Amino acid sequence: MAQIFTASADTRLRALIMAALGVFVFTITGAYTFVGAGHSVGWVRDQPVPFSHQHHVGGLGLDCRYCHTSVETSSRAGLPATHICMTCHSQIWTNAEILAPVRQSLASGKPIPWRRVSRLPDYVYFNHAAHITKGVPCVTCHGRVDQMPLMAPAHSFQMGWCLDCHRNPLPQLRPPADVTRMDWTDWNPDASSKEEIARVATAVKSLHPDTLTDCNTCHR
Ligand code: HEC
Ligand code: HEC
Ligand code: HEC
Ligand code: HEC
Ligand code: HEC
Nearest C-alpha neighbor of 139 from the set 60, 82, 20, 58: 58
Q: Are 36 and 143 in contact (CB under 8 A)?
A: no
Centre of ligand 1 to C-alpha 3, Å, is 72
Q: Which amino acid is at 58?
A: G
Q: How far apart are CA 16 and CA 52, in angstroms?
A: 49
138 pocket-lining for ligand 2 (C-beta < 6 Å): yes
Q: Which ligand is nearest to the CA of 58?
A: 2
Q: Say if residue 34's pLDDT is above 70.
A: no
Q: What is the dihedral of CA 101, 87, 115, 138, to 10 degrees?
A: 160
What's the pLDDT tens digit per position in 151-210?
999 999 999 999 999 998 887 888 777 899 998 665 566 666 676 666 666 656 557 778
- What integer is the mean pLDDT of 124-151? 94
Q: What is the dihedral of CA 162, 220, 204, 184, to 10 degrees?
A: 30
Ligand 3 site: residues with CB under 6 angstroms? 64, 68, 71, 76-79, 118-120, 126, 128, 131-132, 136, 138, 140-142, 157, 179-180
Ligand 5 site: residues with CB under 6 angstroms? 120-121, 124, 157-159, 162-163, 166, 213, 215, 217-219
pTM: 0.88
CA-proximal residue: ligand 5, atom 15 (nearest): 158
Residue 50, exposed/middle/buried by CB under 10 A (0-12, 13-18, 19+)? exposed
| Three-state secondary-structure class, residue 130 | helix
User: Measured in Å, how far apart are the chain's first and last C-alpha atoms?
Assistant: 64
CA-proximal residue: ligand 1, atom 14 (nearest): 55
What's the pLDDT tens digit per position in 3-32?
555 555 555 555 554 555 444 444 444 443
CA 150 to chain centre: 12
| Three-state secondary-structure class, residue 72 | coil
